[in-house]
Chain A
């Protein structure tokens, strides 16, 4: 039962990673921009949700605030900074968006202080249910998983079926070709960036009751989201989905069980130290192996 519970935890973490990396992979794949501020959008979403939840007590309003906050922040960042970076090389993009992280983090510290904000679980979702005999699981986390799956499906359909989705897929494969076909890519870029910001905001707002809302929370998940993009393949939403679940599961399972396994063969304190160290390496190890075996990512056709 413990294993099942940890699998659910892994999936839930994977879903959060997916919401982050879906936007990241599209922005990188289609626009060619390395957007480090994606983590900041996540943080903005979490803060906006936390503040509104504290003021109104409504989880629904908090969610709306999280989405709106991240979307507005995304639009402002795109219009003021990112738009000037499309034609620049990646180093310029990293420098500019890293500077933005510092500015946004400092602003958040000045506004809200260093104390983490804690958000109460929405009362309707704060209980646990018995899924199987012996497996009791918090409803909120199940809802997070469900929302993530719905979003994944909701993305897959338009991307595979609609005209704008065709453009997104085409743009992720060959920007040059799409431009040459006469597609107004500025519009496409704005849509992609806005969509990415919304997803990051959703991830942040949903994380607010589970994690501490604090400055720097965006960077923790940003790094893992980049790892997921590499594992799944740049530009592939499907890759982001499976890559995120894989990374979420591996990270969670290793953290939960590796120290215990090692304790069978060595002293307790050593096992904990080694297990902790190894499990935080797990996802990066996975990325390294993927890069060796399928350098373009697991879900991108290798050429």
Chain B
């Protein structure tokens, strides 16, 4: 058996008396689209934050392609191939979409570029950023103000910025949150197009999206994984119905 791309073992995080992450194991083979679902407050975003490194875990290990990354700072994990999007978009309102994606491209290129160069004139970075925007369908809005974008466009922009990091593993924290149904369909289409090319862990409440996209699903309740399996397994799992889909009324 080959090494999984992401291999999380025994991950724990406590906040005082609250166990937010309770010995979580999670292994994602390369190319898998794995959905993480669970009721509000189950600790899904907390888990993502630990994987990407913005929150330090108490114990356990996080391996990316066999190498322990659990104690690296965020930016180093990003350089190893981890990218994320946020549940509540963290974009910079006064930037343009092009600037935003250029920032990601230039971070990936690191310090091999002139630090004090005129950022906007750098053809190579600019072209690459534009390519990512076009790919996600935001090319026409490249020079708008991010603060003026619609919610759906912002979510797309975050995805474009994350893709500009050329990640091997993409962590998506509620990519459909706040989207209308047409926008959701568009996002599902885009994620489906990426499926297989990039390994993805997706936290999502939109069950239609989860059931359409996911190869496998893990269910997190009170920081613990209570079930894991294919979409059909999860749909028919009694524990999941009780804990998550609503006390027996499904």
Find out whether the CB atom of B117 lies under 8 angstroms from the CB atom of A162.
Answer: yes
Is B99 interfacial (CB-CB < 8 Å)?
yes
Is B211 interfacial (CB-CB < 8 Å)?
no
Given contacts A164-B116, A173-B92, A301-B93, contact A181 B78 (CB under 8 A): yes
Which of B58-66, B82-90, B228-236, B240-248 has 4 or more CB atoms under 8 Å from chain A? Answer: B82-90
Residues in chain A near residue B104, CB distance under 8 A: 181-182
- A165-188 CB mask vs B (1 if < 8 Å, else 0) is 111011001101111111111100
Which residues of B in the span 51-84 have a Cβ within 8 Å of any Cβ on A? 52, 54, 73-76, 78-79, 83-84
Find out whether the CB atom of B75 lies under 8 angstroms from the CB atom of A185.
Answer: yes
Find out whether the CB atom of A177 lies under 8 angstroms from the CB atom of B78.
Answer: no
Find out whether the CB atom of B93 lies under 8 angstroms from the CB atom of A166.
Answer: no
Find out whether the CB atom of B91 lies under 8 angstroms from the CB atom of A161.
Answer: no
Find out whether the CB atom of B107 lies under 8 angstroms from the CB atom of A182.
Answer: yes
Q: How large is the interface on B (under 10, 10 to 19, 20 to 34, 35 or more residues)?
A: 35 or more
Given contacts A179-B75, A180-B90, A182-B75, contact A166 B116 (CB under 8 A): no
Given contacts A163-B117, A164-B116, contact A176 B54 (CB under 8 A): yes
Given contacts A161-B119, A173-B94, A301-B93, contact A166 B99 (CB under 8 A): yes
Find out whether the CB atom of B54 lies under 8 angstroms from the CB atom of A162.
Answer: no
Is B21 interfacial (CB-CB < 8 Å)?
no
User: When chains A and B are docked, how far (Å) is the Cα of A227 from the Cα of B148?
Assistant: 31
User: When chains A and B are docked, how far (Å) is the Cα of A182 from the Cα of B164?
Assistant: 11
8 Å CB contact of B94 from A163, A167, A181, A301 = A301
8 Å CB contact of A176 from B90, B102, B107 = B90
Is B10 interfacial (CB-CB < 8 Å)?
no
Find out whether the CB atom of B116 lies under 8 angstroms from the CB atom of A169.
Answer: no
Find out whether the CB atom of A179 lies under 8 angstroms from the CB atom of B106.
Answer: no
8 Å CB contact of B165 from A158, A176, A182 = A182
> Which partner residue on chain A sits nearest B166 by CB separation?
A182
Is B115 interfacial (CB-CB < 8 Å)?
yes
Which residues of B in the span 144-179 have a Cβ within 8 Å of any Cβ on A? 147, 161-162, 165
Residues in chain A near residue B106, CB distance under 8 A: 163
User: When chains A and B are docked, how far (Å) is the Cα of A164 from the Cα of B122?
Assistant: 13
Given contacts A162-B118, A177-B92, A182-B108, contact A167 B103 (CB under 8 A): yes
Residues in chain A near residue B116, CB distance under 8 A: 158, 162-164
> Which partner residue on chain B sits nearest A176 by CB separation?
B90
User: When chains A and B are docked, how far (Å) is the Cα of A269 from the Cα of B26?
Assistant: 77
Which residues of B in the span 104-148 have a Cβ within 8 Å of any Cβ on A? 104, 106-108, 110, 113-120, 122, 147
User: When chains A and B are docked, how far (Å) is the Cα of A173 from the Cα of B162?
Assistant: 18
What is A's interface to B at a CB cutoff of 8 Å? 158, 161-167, 169-170, 173-174, 176-186, 301, 303
The 4 closest A-B pairs by CB, nearest first: A182-B78, A177-B90, A163-B119, A179-B74
What 13 additional pairs, Cβ within 8 angstroms, besides A163-B119, A180-B52?
A162-B116, A163-B113, A163-B115, A166-B99, A176-B86, A179-B54, A180-B78, A180-B84, A181-B78, A182-B75, A182-B78, A182-B107, A301-B94
What is B's interface to A at a CB cutoff of 8 Å? 52, 54, 73-76, 78-79, 83-84, 86, 90-95, 99, 102-104, 106-108, 110, 113-120, 122, 147, 161-162, 165
